Amino acid sequence: KQEVTQIPAALSVPEGENLVLNCSFTDSAIYNLQWFRQDPGKGLTSLLLIQSSQREQTSGRLNASLDKSSGRSTLYIAASQPGDSATYLCGLSGGSYIPTFGRGTSLIVHP
Amino acid sequence: DTAVSQTPKYLVTQMGNDKSIKCEQNLGHDTMYWYKQDSKKFLKIMFSYNNKELIINETVPNRFSPKSPDKAHLNLHINSLELGDSAVYFCASSPPGSFSGNTIYFGEGSWLTVV
């Protein structure tokens, strides 16, 4: 059974800092890993999708990496802004798995 | 156009009632899901439905039942609602070959409060 852990659970930083959010998983037999953003009272918005054959994906100030051998992914946020404040979730899917999610990292970026 | 849409967005109901939440996707996806998100933001899979194959999370009470009239719809019916059913319920879908690594799309969520 796949288990996904996200560290830290919460993070509060001043604007402009570079951030790293961590996601670890117990079974490396995945097909993809996806990072989502969830704003309060809203649904999940997909940020980045990394296929199992890929090592990283980039979109604007966001960069996600995947290391299947160590069961880890990181989401790097450059030059954080108050608008980045949200909960970030990591989800894995593929094979016989139903997409499985971590509990998220709650991020606050203060001006 | 909304890719995955759920109705209602908010639902307040009394214990013991039966209610349904509807979900529709216009993406042509083969697989649809229902997730429950608790107060601590944990997304827990309830059901997966793929080409008429239903995969049920064994921890889900049988008061919860998914109903799929066609490939574009997966509704969630809940009997005899309990206080602990209060949560946000998310519908999601993914395209054919999802198990080869395609993205999953979520609806906006349905906020259920049982009083």
Interchain proximity A98–B55, CB inside 8 Å: yes
Q: Is A111 on the interface with B (CB under 8 A)?
A: no
Strands A10-14 and A105-110: parallel
Q: How far apart are CA B75 and CA B95, in angstroms?
A: 18
- The pLDDT, as a whole number, for residue B90 is 96
Distances (CA, A) of A103 to A32, A38, A59, B39: 18, 12, 23, 11
Per the CB < 8 A criterion, the answer to whether B75 and B22 are in contact is yes
Of B33, B41, B105, the CB nearest to A87: B41
Q: How far apart are CA B6 and CA B10, in angstroms?
A: 10
10-residue mean pLDDT series, chain A (111 residues) = 91 96 90 91 90 92 95 96 96 75 95 94
Q: How far apart are CA B57 and CA A39, in angstroms?
A: 27
Q: How far apart are CA B100 and CA B113, in angstroms?
A: 37
Residue (of B88, B76, B87, B66) closest to B20 by Cα position: B76
- The pLDDT, as a whole number, for residue A1 is 77
- The pLDDT, as a whole number, for residue B85 is 96
Please list every residue in chain A whose beta carbon sits closer than 8 Å to the beta carbon of residue B41. 38, 87, 89, 103-104, 106
φ, ψ at B100 (rounded to 5°): -100, 5
User: For residue B8, what is the DSSP state?
Assistant: -
pLDDT tens-digit map of B10-69? 999 999 999 999 999 999 888 899 999 988 888 999 988 887 688 778 789 999 999 988
Q: How far apart are CA A1 and CA A3, in angstroms?
A: 6
